[in-house]
Chains A and B, each alone.
Chain A
Amino acid sequence: MIVAKLIDTTLCIGCKACEVACQEWNDQEYTLGTFNGSYQTMPDLAHNFWNLIRFNEVERNGAQSWVMSKYQCMHCAEAGCIAACPAPGAITQMANGTVDFVHENCIGCGYCITGCPFDVPRLSPATKKVYKCSLCSDRTAVGLEPACIKTCPTNCLTFGERDELLRSAEIRTRELKADGHAQAGIYNPAGVGGTNVIYVLNDATQPEQYGLPKDPEIPWTVRLWKGPLKALGAMVFMGSILGAFFHYVIFGPQDPEKHGHPEEEPTHEA
């Protein structure tokens, strides 16, 4: 069974209880933020801050509008971080779809940061390893819902079977459309095979306003690097080694004693 989080952004009141719950459950140390003239807690995700409610100020129909949206790992079905990771077992995709980092296998190369289309993983300067939302895999493993879900007071966040949540997202979208939000829709981008963090947006035509990329996918250079370049490398390396070996077998070494240089007279006499 694939599990998912549904984030109905239309119900978010910006209370940030989920941020606190995430920090508490994951036992993160406290870091002083900066005040940037916004209601947002922190400017960005951090190695010890995995769940950020963005407070985006955007213009809609000529009026200023406040768009709140939860920023965290999307638990992609086709995850760019996994595609980019060179260390076996450092990132796992569990049977329930959760993408989790296994820190004893992480080598801290940071390639997942480049592979992730959502700019989620963060390096810790102390451990030199990478951290992000684990979908509370330590809670879901024993049948509990993630900490952020547990704490959300408005039912903006729900957790459960992915297909069921998609169905309720569709129902909610229909409601919103009937309410006059003609652009309402679901964010579940196909470019990464769908995500296990699904959003209901009241303007799905402009996901960027929520800080969500429009058409996220695993970058083609990452695919090139992990696919065709591997084959090219194997061909070049094996070709050089076998080519050299068979050159030796067929032609042998270039021995001055065996082949003279016809244009050259021996000039040095004893």
Chain B
Amino acid sequence: MKLDEIRIPRFDAYERVMHWMAALSFVYAALTGLALWTPVLYWLASLSGGGFVIRGTHPWSGVLFSVVIGWMYRRWAKTMYLDADDRVWLTRLDKYATHQHGALPPSGRFNAGQKMLFWSQVATGLLLLVSGVVLWFPEEMPRGLRLAAIAAHPLAAIGSIGGILVHIYMGTAAVPHSMRAILRGWVSPEWARFHHPKWYKVWRDSANLR
């Protein structure tokens, strides 16, 4: 077989649907949440029916996102634990950012940066869910909790949106062909060997290429 005809499966349909449900619910929750945060961004509400409508829909999109994050956790948590190479990788983040790949320890299916994104989304997702439920029912929740939630919810959102902005840049522009992986499910051997050498080796050995 010709090298450029080989497709390595990276995300199956189940994982792709899961990812894009997370992405769509997140973008909706983020845009409506920003509208509810400050009058400066209130115009965002008109993208989805105005303030009264998003007051109703924003919490539900957050619930959906949380459910999908829970699903993602069940599916991916095991592969997301940092190994020894990952810990070294994180200390050399600057080398990764400046494309000095020779200085980096090899990555598995996900590199340490992707793993950190996953864990940060799990953590902020949990915080957003808990504080969000408190803000959802102002008359049922004790005031002390609401006062804590009113600061915790935007704080978690800032962390989470900031992380996703970087993630979107990585996925769309910084790492060519990764969009094909998350949309159609496969990558080339060259891509796999370059970005995820340890994962590539597992595939190569099981595919009996040598």
**Measuring CB to CB, which residues of chain A are less than 8 angstroms from any residue of chain B?**
84, 86-88, 105-111, 113-114, 119, 122-123, 128, 219, 221-222, 224-226, 229-230, 232-233, 236-237, 239-241, 243-244, 247-248, 251, 253-257, 259-264, 266-270
Contact = CB atoms under 8 A, between A and B. Distances in A.
Contacts of A247: 97, 169, 174
A229 B151 contact: yes
A59 to B, nearest CB: 26
Contacts of B161: 236-237
Interface string B124-139: 0000000000010011
Given A107-B51, A256-B195, A268-B204, A88 B42 contact: yes
19 contacts: A86-B39, A87-B42, A88-B42, A108-B52, A110-B139, A111-B138, A114-B146, A123-B138, A128-B52, A221-B147, A221-B151, A233-B158, A248-B169, A251-B98, A253-B175, A256-B194, A261-B101, A267-B209, A267-B210
Nearest to A250: B98
A264 B42 contact: no
B165 A244 contact: yes
- Say which size band chain B's interface belongs to: 35 or more
Contacts of B38: 86, 226, 230
B115 interface: no
B185 to A, nearest CB: 19
Given A114-B143, A225-B151, A268-B3, A253 B169 contact: no
Given A86-B42, A232-B158, A254-B175, A224 B151 contact: yes
